[in-house]
Amino acid sequence: MEKWNTKLQLRTNQELMQSQPIKINRGIFQGDSLSPLLFCIALIPLTYELNRSGCGYQVHGSERKISRLLYMDDLKLLGKSEEELRDEIKIVKTFSSDIKMEFGLEKCARISIKKGKVQRKEHVEKTGENEIKELETNGAYKYLGIEENHQIEHKKEKERLKKEYVRRLRLILNTELNAKNKMQAIGSLAVPVLRYSFGIINWHKEEIQKLDRKTRKMLTTYGQHHPRADIDRLYVPRKEGGRGLIQIEAAYVTETTNLAEYIEGTEDQLMKIVRTHQHNTSSSPNTACKHTEFLQKKAIAENTKEKWEKKRMHGQYPRSLDDTLVDKEQTYRWLKFGGIKGETESLIVAAQDQAISTNYFKKKILKEEI
């Protein structure tokens, strides 16, 4: 690394401006596109040393030992005894010091499990000037954003995720964003809170559907959706006449099915163990894959659009556009580029859905004289 250096370049229409060589002393900036790759390369020796130690948890029915779960900078060490765990901690501490990487012991905790039960201990693991404390009773640690102890507390985690989703949804709805941007913000800032947990947390179909209902209720409360407007149209893409909201149930089906397909098709040895386990259980991804086979043959979005178009009253508007002389792209252009407020958009959509008492509704549906 002593010889590492880089140059900053700025290209304009007239010239290429370039800085003098900049020496790299300890590493590159975190935002650099090369940063994650270099970080992973730097940790390769750590995985090698942990494998070479022979420590790790013996998987039942297999000769494979698992010494750690490592993703980027999130590390979980596994050992079959106190001695093995102590050796693994020593390896990580030594390696971290060698490559000048700070070992965040203040964020670490340890837990001892024997025959499925947590063993409470008063001691702490001494590592230099720092300590790795025993996980407190009913305490939890986070690994890849999911709180765990000796197992995942699915009920508590679901409550935490639901609260965070509703909190973000409320923040978005309180902004001054236009209708389209609010729907996009929900899809990029709120829904991922739940999407990340699909396949890990045991969600039930009723819970997912309840979250969709909660979302629609909040949209109505904040004037972003008319209470009598079509529900399915909310989830149809804007270029096809919908409002572009991501349906949580559809996201759940997509994520769990993709996860199940990955586990079924991968040749990774650890994933093969997971696959064997899932075949003997009713795990979330496995169940989703079995019960949503028909959705793999037909896109969920297309299925939702068909449901909207087939409705007797709400589907009149999209069916009226099937005329060969109608340019659907231009007809729906206002939904993509209009930039209007959510309250205005929801009112227009409700009128098109025959959900409010317009003159057209009175004449054609109620058969009144106008």
Q: What is the pLDDT of residue 166?
A: 98
Kindly state the helix (H) or strand (E) to which residue 132 belongs, with its residue range.
Answer: strand 130-134
**Contact residues for 66 (Cβ-Cβ < 8 A; gap 6+):** 56, 57, 59, 78, 270
For every residue of 253-284, DSSP letters joined together read HHHHHHHHHHHHH---HHHHHHHHHHHTS--H
Q: What is the pLDDT of residue 297?
A: 44
The DSSP secondary-structure symbol of 201 reads: B
Q: What is the pLDDT along the chain (370 residues), one digit of tens a residue?
A: 678 788 888 988 888 999 998 887 777 777 778 888 888 888 899 999 998 888 888 877 777 788 888 888 888 898 888 888 889 988 988 888 887 777 676 778 888 887 777 776 655 555 544 567 788 777 788 888 888 887 888 999 999 999 999 999 999 999 999 999 999 999 999 999 999 999 889 999 999 999 999 999 999 999 999 999 999 999 999 999 999 999 999 999 888 888 888 888 888 877 887 777 766 665 555 555 555 544 554 577 788 888 998 998 888 889 888 877 889 899 999 999 989 999 999 999 999 998 888 787 777 777 888 7
Q: Which two tokens stand for residue 270?
A: 């650890």
**What residue type is assigned to position 270 of the chain?**
L
Closest CA to 196 of 230, 168, 165, 150: 165
Q: Which two tokens stand for residue 267?
A: 């040749």
Task: State how far the Cα of 202 lies from the Cα of 158, in Å rounded to an integer.
Answer: 9
Q: 200 near 152, Cβ under 8 Å? A: yes
Q: What is the pLDDT of residue 323?
A: 76
Domain boundaries, the chain: 35-148, 154-364
Q: What is the pLDDT of residue 18?
A: 92
Task: State how far the Cα of 282 lies from the Cα of 204, in Å rounded to an integer.
Answer: 12
